Amino acid sequence: MMTEEQMEVLRQQIAAYAIISDQLVQMHKAFSAQHTHSGMRQGSLYYDPWIASSGQKMNIRQRWSPTTEQLQILERIFEEDNGTPNNQRLKEITTELAQHGKISDSNVYNWFQNRRARLRRKQSVPEPQKPESETGKEVQSLKEKKMRPESTLSYENSAQRSKTIHLQQSPEISTEMLRLNSRSNEANPHFRQILI
């Protein structure tokens, strides 16, 4: 297992990489923004058909996807608040995120819902330390799904620690990297539905 110290290091490392890649994506977006005209780019990276001339077309993309900024903010809030936002809070968050792209509160709601659920799922499997010693011992029956080891969390509260990493990364990154792909390329978080 790891020491708390090592954990901390890992966290920092992640944060560092996260920031870097985020900047990368930012650059990508900036770059693509100033090139929306020239040449055809056969819808690969991001096609933006939603600005379709015919009024309000914007279809095709049906599922919301957070922009990088939004994701960042969401993650931050998730850590800070460390819990389910109530309606009030939810709307605040939505409002804030709306500045960075189209979004609705149900998106935010779902996001938190999923975020929590998946975190829980991951951490709810205390894996035995010796992988191959014997297979039979792995009892671990959580079958009593009624009982959720809610109190067993450790990841979250350790993450609550200050995340100030203060790093500034290299400003000079070529435009080449802009081709870097990632989900975050979805500079266009378009959605369609509203639900409720």
Partner DNA sequence: CGAGTATGAATGAAGG
Partner DNA sequence: CCTTCATTCATACTCG
Residue ranges in contact with DNA by CB under 7 A: 12, 19, 61-66, 84, 86-87, 106-107, 110-111, 113-118, 120-121, 145, 148, 150, 152, 154, 158, 160-166, 181-183, 186, 191, 193, 195
What does 58 interact with, of a second copy, DNA, none (CB < 5 to 8 A by kind)? Answer: none
**Which residue is listed with tokens 């900036």?**
30
71 vs 129: CA distance, rounded Å: 34
Query: What is the rounded CA–CA span in Å between residue 22 and residue 102?
Result: 19
- Distance (Å, rounded) from C-alpha 70 to C-alpha 190? 13
What single letter denotes the amino acid at residue 8? E
Residue length of the chain? 196
Q: Which is nearer to a second copy, 80 or 128 (CB)?
A: 128
* Coil/strand/helix, residue 30: helix
Instruction: Give me the half-sphere count of Cα atoms (radius 13 Å) on the Cβ side of residue 160.
Output: 8
Judged by beta carbon, residue 37 or residue 80, the one nearer a second copy is: 37
Q: Which does 82 bind (CB under 5 to 8 A by kind): a second copy, DNA, none?
A: none
Residue 125's binding partner out of a second copy, DNA, none, with CB under 5 to 8 Å set by partner kind? a second copy
The nearer residue to DNA, 35 or 192, going by C-beta atoms, is 192
Distance CA 21, CA 158 (A): 23
72 binds, among DNA, a second copy, none (CB under 5 to 8 A by kind): none
**Smallest gap from residue 167 Cβ to DNA (A):** 8
